[in-house]
Structures are given as structure tokens and as C-alpha cells.
Structure 1
Amino acid sequence: MARNLADCCSDVATIADVVKVLGAIRDASAEDIMRPEVDGISCFSRLYTIITQNVLDTVEGRKPKREFKDPDFLTLLDLEFARRYIAAIRAYEAGRGDTPKSWDVLFERRRKAGIGHVNFAAAGVNAHVNFDLAFALLETWKTFPPTPDRRSDYDQVNEIFAEEMDQLREDFDAFLAEVAPDGSAVDRFGNAASDLLVRVTRALAWEAAEEVWEHHDEKQADGGPAYRKAFDRMERRLDRTAWILGWGVLTAPDLP
């Protein structure tokens, strides 16, 4: 197996740090294998690195057609989001038994024969968006409470996924990208379906976080008992849901 991935999981203070750590996890998790073998952690980390680099380019103004209204909010959200993945890797490598079920389903099958690149990548996206994202939002809102402008910036990240979608589906050997010519109606359908799924799941994460945030009490450091109760209830529900979805994604024969 690959070397201990916890060695790659340094603390992150900037989006550039996130890109560096993700790249290190991607490379270390696959350093002892060659195609056609594949590592699930490496697959997801590769996708995650691409998207995060695009976010970094936007925040730093290297994407002239796109800008965020509140880049500080999106920067902190990116950091809190990445910290949850890094924490899951550390828990898995430490063998403490407290890895979220939504991540464990991927980590424990990371070298299972017969699972495709796209399945591994999709399982990682499922755990990170359907489980981690709502909690990253809640942590970020403690500094930058939700506003319409911040929701607009949040939704702009969907455009980053859309911008990368066609190449990602080709790179990860998605079924429709393999069987249909690039740019064909079938290929465009695959892009559109994947894009819609990203938009819907990210919208659901925001809405789930809002349901908990309604109970937030700024006078109490931990948000108050009602907040804690709602938080814990959502954590159990989202982790179980993402675990079931992740299992389904990893056992599916093909993904579009």
C-alpha cells in the first residue's frame, strides 16, 4: 500500500496550501501503483485539486470573466471544506474508528478491483458535498454569516464545476464520454446531467446548513443547546445518507 497519508495532511491557511496538500495526497496515495490499477483516494484528490485550483485562480483574479463579491467568505469556506477531508484522511490513517461512514465506504474500498476511476471520484464528491459541505458552511458562517451576496458566490462555484465537467468526465473515463464522440448530443447530455447533480446537491447542502443555523445563538460559543441538537441530528442523517449513496456509486457498473 501507499505510505501513510497523514504525512501529507499539513494544516492549511490559504487556498494555495489546500492545492498543495491535495496534490500531495493524490500523489502519495497512488505512488505504489500503475495503470490499470487505481486508488480511490488518489482519484478523488485529483478531481478535488483541479476544482480547487480553479477556485484559487478566480479568487486571485486570474479568471477575468468571473469574480466573487466576497472572496474572503469563499476563501474561508474553501479552507473549512478542505479541513474536513484532511481530518477524515487523518482519522482513517490513525485507525481510530471514528472516520465518518460517508468517507469510510470509499477509503475501505480504495483498492478494490473493478471499481472505475469515475466511480471513485463520484464517491468522493458524494461524501464531500453531501456530508462535509453543510458543516463547512456552518463553521464559515460563524465569521461570515449567510447573505444573498455570499449565496451568489457559493452558487458561482457551480460554474467552475460546469467549466471543468467535460474534461473531467473524459479524464475519469465516464461511460458516455467513452462511448460517444466529444461534443455529441449524448456527450452533452452526460455533461448536463452531471452539472445538474452538482447544482442540486450543493443547493441541498446550503439548505441543510440553514436549518441548523436558525438555532444559532451568537451569545454562546457553541451555538447553544438547540443548535447543538440540530447539528448532531443533521450529522447523523447526512452521514448515513452519504454512506448509502457512496455504496451505490461504488457498486454501479458505469456512471454517465
Structure 2
Amino acid sequence: MTMTRAQPAVPAGIDGVLARMRGLDAALPPRDGVAVFNRVYLAVTEEIGHRAAAGGFRDRHAAADLDVRFAKRYLHAVDQASMGRLLPACWRPLFQLRGHPAVQPLQFALAGINAHIGHDLALALTETCRALDVEPRALEGDFHRIGSMLVAMEERIREELMPGPDLLDVADPLTHLVGSWTLEAARNAAWASFRALWAMRELPDLVEELTDRVDASVGMVGRCLLTPLG
């Protein structure tokens, strides 16, 4: 999915995003892979909403706008999947393997985060800069504030979703697999992709090519993260 193609309407603020996510949480089976990621994302969005309301960002309006534009890409993937339409490559592994019994909840969570951070974040940042008519540096401080919060939450997610000590022998492959990916690395790559997309914003053919290649690469990482472990 590239910036040159039509995008879905932005939900009505963070409250609108939260309402959609809570609706999904109530409707999906708890063990469903998309439901696992949705619960993680819901918690993140609630925290961002609290911090924005409390003045935790340099530019509350820009941070909220970015959060909504970012979330719409995940919600659009949910809607596309429900209609049987082709998803961006980054999202396909999660939606295709969402019911696999040999994939652990932690794998589903990280695969969703990988898709959303690795592909969607750079596009959402670019959209936000265009919409607000600002340069990337205007978003950089709040980008890093959100990033620090996400990294802390990643640690909590790993602790909560990792199998308990009684399963450690069985989970050795899982430990190896999830240890090969970090949110910090994905976030740094997303910022680099964003800067490249912004620099090429008047060259739509190059923008589309780069976006498609990032999409394919992130999708490949997601498929590896969702390797069934039995």
C-alpha cells in the first residue's frame, strides 16, 4: 500500500480509534492472532491518549494526529481482511496465520507490531507532515517520546506473553525466534524510511517503489516471526 494510492478516511480522533479497537476486542476470539495484537495496540493507544491529555507531548495536536493516521492503517487492514481483499504484504502473515494452533501469542503480538511499525509508521509520519504542513524535525521529539514508551511496553509484552518457567525447555526455539527482532530496531528503520520518503515526496514513482519494497521486506520478517513452533 503506497502513499500514491487512495487511503481510508481518518477515524474521528483518538476516541474514535479506541472505540473501534474496543469493538474488535469484544468481537474477536481471545486466542485469535489479530485479537492478541489488537489488545496490545489498544493498551498502547490508551496510554498515548492519557499522555496527550496530560500534556506529555511537545505538540499535543500533532501527536494525536499522527496516532490517528497511524492507527487507521491497521484498522483499514482489518476492514480489508473482513471483505476478503488483498492486504499489504506486511499484514498478510498475521491475518493468514491468525488461527494457527502452533503459533504462540507472543509471536502474534510481535508480528503485528512489526507490520505496523516497520511499514505503516513511515507512511503515517509522511501523511502527518503533509497534513500539518511541517517538516520532519517538528515531529522528531514526540516521535522519540512515543518510542521510549513503546520500548517499555514491549518489555512488558514479552514478560506477559512469554510461556512460563515450566515451558522453557519447549520454548527454547521461541526464545531464539523472538530474540531476533526488537521494536527499537524497527522504529529506527521506520524513521529512516520516513526521511527517505519525505525527501522523495515529489518523485511519486520512487516513493511507490520504496514503499512497496519496504512492505515486502517487513512482510518477510513477519512470516519468520510467525513460524509455527509446534
Query: Which interval holds the TM-score relative to the shorter structure?
Result: 0.7 to 0.9
* 8 Å Cα contact 1:131-1:242 kept in structure 2: yes
Residue 209 (structure 2) aligns with: 233
SS of the aligned residue for 1:200 comes to: helix
Residues 1:116 and 2:101 aligned together: no
Kindly, what percent of the aligned residue pairs are identical?
A: 25
Given the alignment, which residue of 181, 188, 191 partners 1:203?
188
Q: Assess, with a 3 A threshold, how the Cα gap between structure 1 residues 154 and 249 changes in structure 2: closer, same or farther.
A: same
Given the alignment, which residue of 229, 242, 246 partners 2:218?
242
Residue 134 (structure 1) aligns with: 122
Residue 55 (structure 1) aligns with: 48
Quick one: which amino acid aligns to residue 239 of structure 1?
D
* 8 Å Cα contact 1:69-1:149 kept in structure 2: no
Residue 33 (structure 2) aligns with: 40
**Equivalent runs, 1:3-152 vs 2, <5 Å:** 12-30=11-29, 38-61=31-54, 67-96=56-85, 98-144=86-132, 145-152=134-141
Decide which moves more: 243-252 or 163-172.
163-172
* 8 Å Cα contact 2:10-2:69 kept in structure 1: no
CA deviation after TM superposition for structure 1 residue 123, in Å: 0.6
TM-score, scaled relative to structure 1 = 0.75
Q: Aligned residues, how many?
A: 211
Which runs of 5 or more structure 1 residues have no equivalent in the other structure?
1-8, 181-189, 217-223
Per chain length, whose mean CA-contact separation is higher, i.e. which structure has more relative contact order (CA < 8 Å, sep 6+)? Answer: 2
CA deviation after TM superposition for structure 1 residue 50, in Å: 0.5
1-structure distance, mates of 2:154, 2:212: 31
Decide which moves more: 136-145 or 47-56.
136-145
Given the alignment, which residue of 148, 172, 175 partners 1:159?
148
Quick one: which amino acid aligns to residue 141 of structure 2?
S
Quick one: which amino acid aligns to residue 237 of structure 1?
R
Which runs of 5 or more structure 2 residues have no equivalent in the other structure?
1-7, 167-174
Q: Assess, with a 3 A threshold, how the Cα gap between structure 1 residues 252 and 109 changes in structure 2: closer, same or farther.
A: closer
Over aligned residues, Cα RMSD in angstroms?
A: 2.5
2-structure distance, mates of 1:206, 1:69: 18
* 8 Å Cα contact 1:119-1:252 kept in structure 2: no
SS of the aligned residue for 2:213 comes to: helix
2-structure distance, mates of 1:41, 1:137: 24
CA deviation after TM superposition for structure 1 residue 235, in Å: 1.8
